[in-house]
A and B are shown apart, each in its own frame.
Chain A
Amino acid sequence: MSDQKTERLINLTMALLATKRFLNKSEIFQSVAGYSGSIETMERMFERDKEDLRTLGIVIEVGTFDPLFEDEPGYRISPKDYRLDLGELTPQEFSYLSLAATLWRNQLFTAGGAQALRKLEGLGGQFSPEVLEMRTVSLENQTPLFPALWKAITTRTRISFEYQSQSVSRRNIAPYGLTLWHGAWYLVGDDEDKHDVRVFKVSRIASEIMETSKSNAFEVPDDFDIKSHLVMLTPENRQRITARVRVGKCQALRLDAVITPVNEEWDRIEFVAKHDWLERVLWYADDIIVDEPLELRNRVIQAIEAKL
């Protein structure tokens, strides 16, 4: 971008922020440095400038001088909307915010955090050194598609992508939201072909995100609640498992189990099967024998036979 345009955008922001009344276009063209050329050129320039400032998150109010007359619309930026206002911050609160800004690392949040930190520092608050010493954790969460998904969600734009499950298929979605569960991001949205809200693991999206509509193409239902769509959050059908484990072995299973000695070689344990029970049992190979229920024991045998 040329210096001229940067300068004009800064001057425009300052002029609209300083004015108490709405400024119409001709006043802007006359008073704000940087507008020149024919009326049409200046109009085009101004339309682009407005769009650019909105992209930066600057809210431009549009209104008229006198609501009773249909005047030419005027523009201004409300200082209340423009300014960062978090109320009074103690050094401790200020430090927590700074820490929160840098905690997450991914394609989107690293940038978002750096920008937020820059603004927080513009508030001139004091840091509390003992809080900053908590800076020992980083939350790594790399998801290259995150920025595109976030944009589609916030602008309510329909999208299309290839989705990899056991096979690959193209999905057409009105994206409603994103959720983080067990360290992985999930997209929740209305699947236009299935006419139902579905959940997609973001890491299984196997193509670029293609926007297939203009923005504001759909409304998110008022009663939409991300968590109600996550099947993984529904209580599992838990069963108790009784098994024999070799003495001194299967330490992790013993932690949550009721243990009864059987003989010198074996102990009996009783534990609650969670979703990963089969992997947990197979992990300990011949150090564990599932006794009951018989159905689960058969599944262990089937899983072993499938590998031989």
Chain B
Amino acid sequence: MTETALDRVARALDLIPFITAHPGLSVIEIAERFNSTPTQISKDLSLLHMCGLPGYSHLELLDIDYEDPNYVAVTDPQVLDSPRSLTQLEAVTLILGLQSLTELASTEEERSTIAKLQERIMAKYGAAFIKSIQIADAIVDSPNNAMISRAITTESWLDMRYNSVSSDSITHRTAFPLDLEYQSGVGYLYAYEEATESTKTFRIDRILDVRILDAVEAPAGVDVAHLSRTKDRWEDSNVSSVEIETGPEGFFFIERHNEIVISHQKTATGYLISLRVIPGEWLVRTLLSWPGKVAILEPIELANEVDKRLKRNLTNNA
């Protein structure tokens, strides 16, 4: 994104207190912290060097030491010695971030420290928007989060009881946790599984219980420092194209399964939807359980399988 007119003024005003607080950084290091380039930061510094208080004698100008790009310091910040106050957007970001952190805290003490901090920011910067933005439910809603988070921090193996909904089974899994991520309200754990020697994605809300393995119990001989952290679930070569037709409520199918929908088209009676997905048990059950009308156009084997199960289901229930 190109820099807007005011971005530069904002950065320039923030550079002085930042360098005052961190004297001796190089232009390259400063550029990294400000998500900018060394050339741009050097230009900013020479511009700031010309700025100051009315009078503009050497006593009133900002005094910046930047001749050596490896050592930048502010000798006299004049009135710019403190960072600017938070904007509404910045305060909202911090408040929402702190709220999520309270949910991730692993001890009561941590939780209380973060909650107090959140109240402090809210009291000082939140009055104007407190009614405009709210989180209606817990963002991180699994009691196992703190334990998993701790295991990632301490690089420990986990023993989990996991409910795989696609295969309708509950199994014990030994895995080395790599990352925890939230997407659309669902938490995912990426972990290396010893048994299959591969990286797997676990839905946090389906981990029934979890415990950290001690050094004696943990699998030996796995070079955990060099595990691949690839998260691309669709690298699997079994991915194929599936075409389905739905009624008008297909809109909600597209919304819910957005990550597998590659295109959709409105028709007189509903939607034609193309999916890119592994046509396994998960897909069969997803189509079976969709509460609206759905017809599978391609591939025919999938259509037959879903049809067979629907008929069996109907015979059972009728």
- Name A residues whose Cβ lies closer than 8 Å to a Cβ of B: 1, 3, 5-7, 9-11, 13-15, 17-18, 31-33, 52, 55-58, 79, 81-87, 92-93, 96-97, 99-104, 108-109, 111-116, 118-124, 133-134, 136-141, 150, 153-154, 164-167, 176-184, 186, 203-204, 220, 224-227, 230, 233, 249-252, 255, 278-280, 282-287, 289-290, 297, 300-301, 303-308
- Distance from A264 Cβ to chain B, minimum over Cβ atoms (Å): 17
A-B contacts, 29 listed (Cβ < 8 Å): A3-B47, A5-B5, A7-B50, A10-B47, A13-B13, A18-B54, A31-B54, A32-B54, A84-B83, A84-B86, A86-B120, A100-B98, A113-B93, A116-B90, A116-B93, A122-B21, A141-B184, A154-B88, A154-B132, A177-B131, A179-B133, A180-B96, A204-B255, A250-B168, A251-B169, A283-B289, A287-B168, A300-B317, A308-B310
| In the complex, chain A residues whose CB is within 8 Å of the CB of B136 | 179-181, 186, 226-227, 230, 233
Q: Which residues of B contact A134 (CB under 8 A)?
A: 101, 104, 149, 153
Q: Is B226 interfacial (CB 8 A cutoff)?
A: no
B21 engages A283 (CB within 8 Å) = no
For A183, the chain B residues whose CB sits under 8 A away are 139, 182-186
> What is the distance, in angstroms, from A255's C-beta to the closest C-beta of chain B?
7
Q: Considering the complex, which residues of chain B in the window 89-146 have a beta carbon less than 8 Å from any beta carbon of chain A?
A: 89-98, 100-101, 104, 113-114, 117, 120-121, 124, 128-129, 131-137, 139-140
Q: Is the CB of A176 within 8 A of B311?
A: no
User: Which chain B positions have C-beta within 8 A of A84?
Assistant: 82-86
B165 smallest CB distance to A (angstroms): 6
Chain B interface residue bracket vs A: 35 or more
Check if B294 is an interface residue, CB within 8 A of chain A: yes
Contact of A56 among B9, B92, B285 (CB under 8 A): B9
Interface centre among A164, A220, A285 (most CB of B within 10 A): A285
Residues of chain B within 8 A of A287, CB atoms compared: 168
Contact across chains for B163 and A255 when beta carbons are under 8 A apart: yes
B6 on the A face (CB < 8 A): yes
Partner of A138, one of B10, B152, B182, B248: B182
- Judged by a CB distance under 8 angstroms, whether B291 is at the interface is yes
If A183-B186, A286-B316 are given as contacts, then 14 extra A-B residue pairs at C-beta distance below 8 Å, sorted by A number, are A1-B9, A14-B51, A55-B6, A97-B98, A103-B100, A119-B14, A121-B22, A122-B17, A134-B104, A134-B149, A136-B180, A137-B182, A179-B133, A289-B317
